[in-house]
Amino acid sequence: MKSDALGAAKVANGLTVAPCLRQNTDMTERFTGSFTQQEPIPEEAIAAAVEVMRGGRLHRYNTLAGETAQTALLEQEFAAQTGARFCVAVASGGYALGCALRAVGVQPGETVLTNAFTLAPVPGAIAGVGAVPVYVGVTEDLVIDLEDLAAKADRAEVLMLSHMRGHLCDMDRLMQICGDAGITVIEDCAHTMGAAWNGVPSGRQGAVGCFSMQTYKHVNSGEGGLLITDDEDIAARAIMLSGSYMLYERHLAAPGPEVFERVKYITPNISGRMDNLRAAILRPQLRALEAQVDRWNDRYAVVEEGLRGTPGLRLTKRPVAERFVGSSIQFLLLDWTREAVQEVLARCAARGVELKWFGGAEPAGFTSRYDSWRYAPSQPMPSTDRVLRGIVDMRLPLTFSLEDCAQIARIIRAEVSAVFQAQPPVRAD
Ligand SMILES: Cc1ncc(COP(=O)(O)O)c(C=O)c1O
């Protein structure tokens, strides 16, 4: 993979694109990079991890007198970075979601609103606390359908809002709808660490924000989760839930002991703590997050620009208020037949470009849909189904150079155009 230096020109949203990258129309070029190869862990993080291992004190509460655990420091730093009062580090993003549901008081049998377009751990977290997901539709710009949300607002007291694939909806309007209906919002920020809406960091508008540090996310500790909130009771419950025994005073981004007095006898310990090794790996990565976001967005801009104007292909509109993190890109082959989409996927795959599709008859890999989660009954959602059938999704790891991104876009553009010309889309239903 080569460097970023391409003499790039500035385009909208502060992103950069080199116009020359779109010229090549060679139908035989093949991409040889890996869509699942992340960057190495930074040397500073490796050194910090080695130090933790040398000390042997990997458990977050295993500290020497006067020593502060890496995990507690991570929580303190992430709270400061996001402007949250409180932060809890846990074992995974999925654990953070389940912990948040419990901490806001969701009881078994209750309903929880959530996105029809998200990943399996989101409805899974709801089912994990014995609650029942009620799905809200998706728009052509891949955000939660706020009309549908308003229509269903009387059906639950909690919304688990998934910023799926990093698309932020009009958060002001969403918070207005939820505020009016008395709905508590939990934000699933697995794909929006480093993103913001009108300058407000993702995860800071709901009562709770939940993040994932699993390998394919914006910082990488293999597995890991962070939960942020400004609510002292939610924070104290989340800390107790995460498995703090009665050692909560060792947390730095936590409420005072008087708050724990209110919750400590009535909150179960459902162990899902983070350890010091992962925290040590994450702290330097969080310090570098802003620069990484810029690098992702440079790549996103090259692919977006390369795909712009491709016949039959719809790019999602990104609102000016949205500061997103382009760690993946989606486009719609709206109203294409399943066969035509499959043809595009096969042709791109043959040229080394790995695309995921949310419209397959059967869920594959990461791409299950609301109607795949049959433990939670759902009604058909025709306009959402139309969008889901057209969503094509691609990761953009930082190991791709801008030249790689330009080549990938050229390949997709050529293959989508070829299939489109051979069989223009008709409504699939
Ligand atoms: C949208 C979304 N939410 C939540 C999660 C859960 O994160 P984790 O894998 O850390 O449990 C994921 C992980 O893939 C995700 O993609």
Task: List, for residues 156-178, the tens digit of each pLDDT value.
Answer: 999 999 999 999 999 999 999 99
Residue whose C-alpha is closest to residue 387's, from 316, 325, 327: 316
356 is catalytic: no
367 Cβ below 6 A of ligand 1:
no
Indicate if the pLDDT at residue 35 is higher than 70: yes
Task: Report the C-alpha gap between 135 and 141 in whole angstroms.
Answer: 17
Q: Please choose from 212, 282, 328, 373 the residue to mutate so as to test ligand 1's pocket, defined by most ligand atoms within 8 A of CB.
A: 212
Residue 307: phi and psi, rounded to 5, are -95, -15
* Alpha-carbon gap, residue 323 to 315, rounded angstroms: 17
Place of tokens 């020593």: 67
The better pLDDT of the pair 10, 363 is held by 363
Q: Look at the domain 43-287 and name its fold.
A: Aspartate Aminotransferase; domain 2 (3.40.640)
220 in contact with ligand 1, CB cutoff 6 A: no
Q: Ligand 1 within 6 A of 100 CB?
A: no
Counting from 1 in the atom list of ligand 1, the atom nearest the Cα of 216 is: 14
pLDDT(109) > 60 = yes
Q: Of 2, 217, 264, 356, which one is the catalytic site residue?
A: 217
CATH fold, domain 4-40+289-422, is: Aspartate Aminotransferase, domain 1 (3.90.1150)
306 CB under 6 A from ligand 1? Answer: no
Q: Does residue 167 have its Cβ closer than 6 Å to ligand 1?
A: no
Q: Please choose from 214, 358, 369, 373 the residue to mutate so as to test ligand 1's pocket, defined by most ligand atoms within 8 A of CB.
A: 214
How much is the CA Rg of the chain, to the nearest whole Å?
A: 22
Q: How confident is the model at residue 364 (pLDDT cuts 50, 70, 90)?
A: confident
Q: How much is the pLDDT for 363?
A: 85
Q: Which atom, in ligand 1's list, is nearest to the CA of 164?
A: 1
With both helix axes pointing from N to C terminus, report the angle between 93-103 and 232-243 in degrees, rounded to the nearest 10: 120
**Mean pLDDT over each residue of the chain, to the nearest integer:** 93
One-letter identity of residue 268: P
Q: Would you give the end-to-end CA distance of the chain in angstroms?
A: 42
Q: Tokens 């909806």 belong to which residue? A: 169
Ligand 1 centroid from CA 310, angstroms: 31
Q: Which pLDDT value is given to residue 91?
A: 98
Gap from CA of 123 to ligand 1 centroid (Å)? 11
Contacts of 108 (CB under 8 A, 6+ apart): 129, 130, 131
Distance 355 CA to ligand 1 centre (A): 19
Between strands 158-162 and 184-188, the pairing is parallel
CA distances in angstroms from 110 to 132, 178, 296, 421, listed in the order given: 6, 17, 39, 50
Q: Output helix, strand, coil percentages for the chain, rounded to the nearest 5.
A: 40, 15, 45
Question: Whole-prediction pTM value?
Answer: 0.93
Residue 2's pLDDT band (cuts 50, 70, 90): very low
- Measure 93 CA to ligand 1 centroid, in angstroms: 5
Going from the Cα of 228 to the center of ligand 1, the distance in angstroms, rounded, reads 16
- Looking from the CA of residue 224, the nearest atom of ligand 1 is 10
Residue of minimum CA distance from atom 7 in ligand 1 = 93
Q: Identify the weakest region by mean pLDDT among 1-10, 146-155, 245-254, 333-342.
A: 1-10
pLDDT class of 361 with cuts at 50, 70, 90: confident
Q: Which atom of ligand 1 is nearest to the CA of 210?
A: 4
302: Cβ–Cβ under 8 A, 6 or more apart, which residues?
A: 17, 18, 21, 402, 405, 406, 409
pLDDT at position 28, please? 85
pLDDT-based confidence at residue 412 (cuts at 50, 70, 90): very high
Q: CATH 3.90.1150.10 spans which residues of the chain? A: 4-40+289-422
| Cα dihedral 97, 103, 107, 108 sign | positive
Answer whether 164 contacts ligand 1 (Cβ < 6 A). Answer: yes
Position 196 pLDDT exceeds 90:
yes
Other Cβ atoms closer than 10 A to 108: 8
The tokens of 274 are what? 């983070």
Query: Which residue intervals of the chain bear CATH 3.40.640.10?
Result: 43-287
